[in-house]
């Protein structure tokens, strides 16, 4: 916030745990074992942000069926269990980042089975789609996200900006 010229202030959590950013800002927060990450931007150009950080290979096999759709698990399962653990953790992280990106605008609670994620082979991006039967409206139903592996941590980011020639004011009016 200081780097953006905003004076520092607390970021209270609402009843639903979502963070309350000061007027004019959008942002997202996430923690993992030993790491935390926060990203903030002015809402003049930036529309919404969702970030998530997870320790690589954190998601154990007993959780896979609850986090992955059957077709997702089929697509990412590898003969080497550690590779599959890493891919499921990436999928988990992508869904959390997508959830945080769409929630402030839609207040839509989503479960892991409500969202389908396609991990791109090179490990640097993913496509997320909110499945039709879980949409109450057409807002924020799909997004492309980026993923990074840093110091054993998987970082997932979904961020959208307003079209170049349109600021928030123009879009809201």
Ligand X SMILES: CC(C)(COP(=O)(O)OP(=O)(O)OC[C@H]1O[C@@H](n2cnc3c(N)ncnc32)[C@H](O)[C@@H]1OP(=O)(O)O)[C@@H](O)C(=O)NCCC(=O)NCCS
Nearer to ligand X, 108 or 167 (CB): 108
Six token digits for residue 36:
């935390």
Nearer to ligand X, 19 or 123 (CB): 19
- List the beta bridge partners of residue 149: 154
What secondary structure letter does DSSP report for 44? T
CB-CB contact of 51 with 155 (8 Å):
yes
Of 7-46, binders to ligand X (CB under 6 A) are: 13, 16-19, 29-31
| Least Cβ distance, residue 162 to ligand X (angstroms) | 20
| Least Cβ distance, residue 144 to ligand X (angstroms) | 16
Q: Is 111 in the site for ligand X (CB under 6 A)?
A: yes
Please give the size of the binding site for ligand X, defined by CB under 6 A. 19
CB-CB contact of 25 with 41 (8 Å):
yes
- List the beta bridge partners of residue 154: 54, 149
| Least Cβ distance, residue 170 to ligand X (angstroms) | 25
| Distance of alpha carbon 110 from alpha carbon 108, whole angstroms | 6
> Of residues 21, 46, 64, 99, which one binds ligand X by CB under 6 A?
99
CB-CB contact of 19 with 11 (8 Å):
yes
Contacts to ligand X by CB under 6 A: 13, 16-19, 29-31, 52, 95-96, 98-100, 103, 110-112, 115
């Amino acid at each position: 916030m200081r780097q953006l010229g905003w004076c520092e202030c607390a970021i209270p959590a609402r009843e639903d745990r979502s963070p309350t950013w000061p007027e004019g800002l959008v942002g997202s927060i996430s923690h993992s074992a030993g790491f935390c990450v926060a990203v903030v931007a002015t809402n003049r150009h930036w529309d919404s942000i969702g970030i998530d950080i997870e320790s690589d290979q954190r998601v154990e096999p007993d959780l896979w069926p609850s986090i992955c759709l059957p077709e997702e698990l089929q697509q990412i399962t590898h003969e080497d269990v550690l590779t599959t653990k890493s891919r499921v953790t990436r999928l988990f992280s992508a869904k959390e980042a997508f959830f945080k990106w769409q929630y402030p605008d839609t207040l839509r609670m989503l479960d892991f089975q409500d969202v389908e994620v396609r991990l791109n082979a090179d490990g640097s991006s993913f496509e997320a789609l909110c499945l039709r039967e879980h949409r109450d409206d057409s807002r924020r139903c799909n997004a492309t996200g980026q993923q990074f592996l840093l110091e054993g941590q998987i970082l997932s980011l979904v961020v959208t900006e307003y079209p170049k020639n349109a600021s928030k004011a123009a879009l809201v009016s």
